[in-house]
Chains A and B, each alone.
Chain A
Amino acid sequence: MSAGIDLENVCCDFGTFRAVDNANVSIKPGEFFSFLGPSGCGKTTILRMVSGFIEPTEGVIRIGGEDVRGKRPNQRPTALIFQNLALFPLMPIWENITFGLEVRGVDKATRRRRAEELLQLVDLHGAADKMVSQLSGGQKQRVAIARALAVEPQVMLLDEPLSALDLKLRQHMRAELRAIQQRTGVTFIYITHDQGEALAMSDRVGVMSQGRIQQIADPREIYNNPVNGFVASFVGENNIFKGEVQQVADGMASFATPQGTFRARLGDLAGRDGKLYVRPEHTLISATAAAENSVPVTISDISFEGNFISVHAVSDSGAVLSAELRNDGSATMPEKGAKAYMSFDPARAAILPDANVRS
């Protein structure tokens, strides 16, 4: 019913441009796997290689253990949901949904019945005879999902399908997609540039930049233990300090910066220069200096975000820092222009290399 996907040393070149560089990933059957990255990072190229619209320049793609090189999209057990959905506007909804069955020679009565079942599954009963233009954005979304599910694919490929929806609907469809995935047990490969989507829905996330997969891990690991600066800054916010590693002991290092010397976890620098990353929600504000990792600052701006309060400050040496306070009513609000100290726990800060890119 669902198949795993393996990419082994997959590269894809467009002329002299390398869109995907040596991708290795093993996606388990029934997994919800997301590729997360900015536009142009090669995530869509990976999707198109898996679906068969592009052949990899090098490397092997296996679907359910079988090498799919040379197979056209219509011969692969995958179904792709396009970013613009690509519904067929000249067919009614039920024909849209069962187009894949029509192609396989299924008779009309069976197709019609199957369309009703699938519409039920995506919570859209009664829309069978409508035309695509009569549906709202979210409904079109569901039709696209139903159309892909109709051919009983072993792998569903989704190319930023929620990007055209408004925020509320997007959040609702996230939950819906996740539910459909769990109900059907089909392997989902999801492409997005929205970190919130990737973290909320996925079993595992592969973060990409400039054609390279930077890190593959579950969402918590990605957020809490990014392997490099790109992953840290693409997934969430950071206060970043430039400096040099000095003494190292037990995975902790002291790091000399213009703002002072800090202690933090040492990531896998592999001989490269690194920067110190700490999340704003792990950055504390206090009136007096903390024992270590403390920076004297002047509060420059406070923005009230509802569930949290974002405090921006400038250090004496000109570095811009920010901290997030939970709006739980307990914290005393700092005042704009006030002098304060920002500090962080060494275990919550990491010294990481920059992104893994081709030199």
Chain B
Amino acid sequence: MQDLLRRYGPGLTLIMALMVAFWLLMLVIIPNMTLFEQSFRPYLPVTEVGGPRDTYSFNNYLKVFDGSIERSFLGFTFTIPVHVLTFWLTIWYSMVVTVMCFLLAYPLAYYMAKIVNPRSLPTLILLLFIPLWVSEVLRAFAWWIILAFRGPLNWLLLNLGLIEDPIRWTNMGYTGVVIGLVYTYVLFMLFPIYNAIQSLDTNQIEAAEDLGAPWWKIHWRIVLPHSKPGIASGSVMVFMLSAGSLLVPSILGSTTSQWFTQTINQWFNDALDWNTASAYAFLLLLLCTLFVSLAMWVFRVKLSDIAK
């Protein structure tokens, strides 16, 4: 702040401070507070808003427990509220997406940071970035085309003789959604890990090899521990973005895949019940945050590691 004042003078500093304040207050805090406040009030006809029935309660939050269905899993049959099931499936498949992003990103990040010729690195990064310039909607539809019944992926697999009949990719539960989310968010995993591995002294890798370590041991004991903060920050980003994505599940989802954000969207746009929708949205935010904190505690990652 002192620095800003000295460099730009009081006028410009005030304008900048006001703009940041406007951004935070008008575009982040007030809308969220409004929705948060609404989430505790019932959905009422306009004439009754502010009337005697308009009281605060947790009823909107408790709606997730409505409408149980029967499911069986690993031989156990149990009933579970449909929205809770959706929530757990969202968390579970977001984790699947996170793990798959890690499995894809880690070798590539290592390759970029330690193996590739530095002269071809900019080309490689550009090739990774170009797809990001295309809108997310178009990229999701591109996958929709790739995964189509008579699409290029089935054509390729058929011609390679790997499959006998085309596969209905977008009608296999969450397959399409997972593929789409991995593709959309893998770079959010790649770059933090790349940064972390890049900061590792190559001599340490060589020292480990010189002491007789095979390649997997070098990764397990030297490279992975060093890149843990990068992996953690990439995982948190991919997980939160996946769990909060609406577009990809909407486009690449099948008849049997329901994402929790789609449920929220239905409350907003189909039921026009913004109150319950807000309650569900805050529930997602809260539970995802809790889940991430739990995962960080399990993997002994500190918040300060991620912020690096």
Residues of A within 8 A of B (CB): 51-53, 72-74, 78-80, 82-84, 86-88, 90-91, 99-100, 102-104, 147-148, 151
Contacts and interface: CB of A to CB of B under 8 A. Distances in A.
Contact of A84 (B203, B208, B225): B203
Interface in B188-212: 201, 203-204, 206-212
Contacts of A78: 210
Of B201, B207, B214, chain A has the most CB atoms within 10 Å of the CB of: B207
A103 B207 contact: no
B221 interface: yes
B217 interface: yes
Contact of A74 (B203, B210, B222, B225): B210
A99 B221 contact: yes
Nearest to B226: A90
Given A90-B225, A90-B226, A99-B221, A74 B204 contact: no
B214 A103 contact: yes
7 contacts: A73-B210, A74-B211, A80-B210, A86-B206, A88-B204, A90-B225, A151-B212
B213 interface: yes
Given A100-B211, A103-B217, 7 more contacts: A74-B211, A82-B203, A82-B206, A86-B206, A91-B221, A99-B208, A151-B211
A258 B204 CA distance: 56
Nearest to B207: A86
Contacts, number: 58
Contacts of B208: 88, 99
B305 to A, nearest CB: 12
Of B201, B204, B210, chain A has the most CB atoms within 10 Å of the CB of: B210
B279 to A, nearest CB: 44
A72 to B, nearest CB: 7
A74 B206 contact: no
Interface of B: 201, 203-204, 206-214, 217, 221-222, 225-226
Give the dominant DSSP class at B's interface. Answer: helix
A100 B222 CA distance: 13
A82 B226 CA distance: 19
Contact of B201 (A74, A86, A148): A86
Nearest to B215: A74
A63 B226 CA distance: 34
A72 B209 contact: yes
Contact of B211 (A52, A53, A79): A79
B212 A100 contact: yes
A72 B218 CA distance: 14
B212 A80 contact: no
B210 A103 contact: no
Nearest to B228: A90
Given A82-B207, A88-B222, A90-B226, A103 B201 contact: no
Given A73-B206, A90-B226, A103-B217, A84 B212 contact: no
A74 to B, nearest CB: 5
Contacts of A73: 206, 209-210
Nearest to A81: B207
A74 B207 contact: no
A103 B211 contact: yes
B206 to A, nearest CB: 6
Nearest to B222: A88
Contacts of A103: 211-214, 217
